Amino acid sequence: MSELVLGISAFYHDSAAALVRDGVPVAAAQEERFTRKRHDPSFPAQAVRYCLDELGVSLGDVAAVAYYEDPRLKFRRVLATLVGTAPTGFTSFRETLPRWLRADGKLRAVQVVRRELESAELGTVPEIVVRRHHESHAASAFFPSPYRSAAVLCVDGVGEWATTTLWHGRDTALRPLAEIRFPHSLGLLYSAFTYFCGFKVDSGEYKLMGLAPYGRPRYADLIRERLIDVKPDGSFHMDMRYFEYLRGQVMTGRAFEKLFGGPRRTPEGPLTEREFDLAASVQDVTEEVMLGLARTARERTGESTLCLAGGVALNCVANGKIVDSGLFDEVWVQPAAGDAGGALGAALAVAMDRGAARGHVGSGRDAMSGALLGPAFGDAQIADYLRSRRIPYHRLDPERLVDDVAAALADGKIVGWFQDRMEFGPRALGARSILGDPRDPAMQSAMNLKIKFRESFRPFAPAVLAAEAKDYFDLRQESPYMLLVAQVAAAQQVPVTETGATGIDLLRVRRSTIPAVTHVDGSARVQTVTPDSNPAYHKLLTAFRARTGCPVLVNTSFNVRGEPIVRSPHDAYTCFMRTNIDMLAIGNFLLHKSEQPAWSEESDWRAEIPLD
């Protein structure tokens, strides 16, 4: 008889639920997709309900609930930090302590989880088991990976005490080898620069990564000299005099401002050469640390494969550097590497303790089902929605739909693509995506400014047929989850005429045959697509190649800036109508913007979606 374990992460950011059956992930989703609140930290009530409904079970059928971190141990760290910064940290102490000690506070997270599950009336609540934060990350990285044994590296902001951990995974066991403890944190160093450059912490780090290629790492030596002492093995020690996160609710203060020549950039203010260079500099240091840690992981474990998780594992540029280094034969990154993935990791850790097997090992595949673990909507549900709203549509057979969409993309149209189960994790992987023609030099700007309503500097990712990826990108391995950056292949590069362009103007310089997905340094964040990982998406890429000779599409998440990725047909249609998307392919239904009724809303939706 199969055994189910439900995993939950909640109360900080990116809360989520995940259901594991006999050690295999079968359902997982972030709460933000249901509530439409980006990075929603609240108890994942709707995500839990979805996971149970997906399998048609109740809580009474679940063997255990796994919570992704130890709140009591975390409270000890918070309390020790507040006491250790007295008296300068008194304001933070006064603001923080009540959030931990009240009846529904973070210290009582496990009790709150039980109360929430009981009030949801989803069945008898089973035993609730607590796992540590970095153990949850490590379990999410190793247990679904395709490897029988591997080095496992987890790097993030902070869990209970750990900020960086090294593990050795073998079969169904994880052995801890080393850790770096708070306040010394590569994730918080990166977040400090995110904050200083005017972006939102725990949200804007990927913007900083995208900004880095516009600048020069002229502050990198200063960072090494004054902020972080990096050892050859990747371990590090930070000078806390330059950071404020121990004492208050901000990341940096006057010492940081003095070091880098002035106050932090005002959010939404103009980007200057300083921000470009700060981003390039901290990215350079981050890559150095990650390479050092990866080298140590190889030496300490002797393994030829590496698994990564934790928020810093979403830094796909650093991941690409590890792959290019040749330290490992292969690197596997958990697609939900951040705290949402902790729900899955906690469930997997408990499942392995209870005797689950890793039956997928030896097949050459991971156990993540292409990260397509969220809800799907059948044609009957989609039709009911369209008819109830009197929305004009064309119902097509699957082959005709793919052909029509490929033709539209080849003609320069932008298409919303809503198919099959929703992705788990922050990346759209061809289930909830907005697609375009990568050959069009104007596509990057059009998508940023007219579709996503976001900053013009941000790059877009290519999806490519896995069998032809090496013709377009210098990839040493497959990249199914869009978590590796690689250079565009020399055969696709075009000669660059010296223009003297700097900063954002570098966007106007064409560098390859696929300019819409080529960043200003000639790189791309690649997703390789196989017929097994996503059959419908693979068919679309194949049809686009048949029409154009190009096996690549622009793939960005189906949402606007500040909004979670769409989950339902209603979410998809709303985003379609609010933006300049030309066509919506939803299930076997094709909607043309030109045929839709006029769109109006009582209030300006931009004012209701907070900037990210």
Q: Coil, helix or strand for 538?
A: helix
Contacts of 400 (CB under 8 A, 6+ apart): none
Between CA 422 and CA 533 the distance in angstroms is: 13
| Residue 368: φ, ψ to 5° | -90, 0
Report CA dihedral (376, 379, 385, 389) to the nearest 10 degrees.
140
> What is the dihedral sign for C-alpha 255, 256, 262, 268?
negative
Here the tokens at position 428 are 């759209």
Q: Measured between alpha carbons, how far is 350 from 66 in angstroms, rounded to an integer?
A: 7
Residue pair 526/430 in contact (Cβ under 8 Å)? The answer is no
**90-101 and 71-84 helices, crossing angle to 10°:** 160
232/149 Cα distance (integer angstroms): 25
CB 473 within 8 A of CB 524: yes
Neighbours of 453 (CB within 10 A): 17
13 labelled catalytic: yes
- Angle in degrees, CA 338, 340, 341, rounded to 5: 70
List all residues 6 or more positions away from 330 whose beta carbon is below 8 Å from its beta carbon. Answer: 147, 304, 305, 306, 477
Taking CB atoms within 8 Å and a gap of at least 24, the contacts of 494-502 are 502/273
Cβ 421 vs Cβ 431: under 8 Å: yes
CB 15 within 8 A of CB 9: yes
Q: Kindly name the residue from 13, 137, 519, 538 that is annotated as catalytic.
A: 13
- Which residues are identified as catalytic? 13
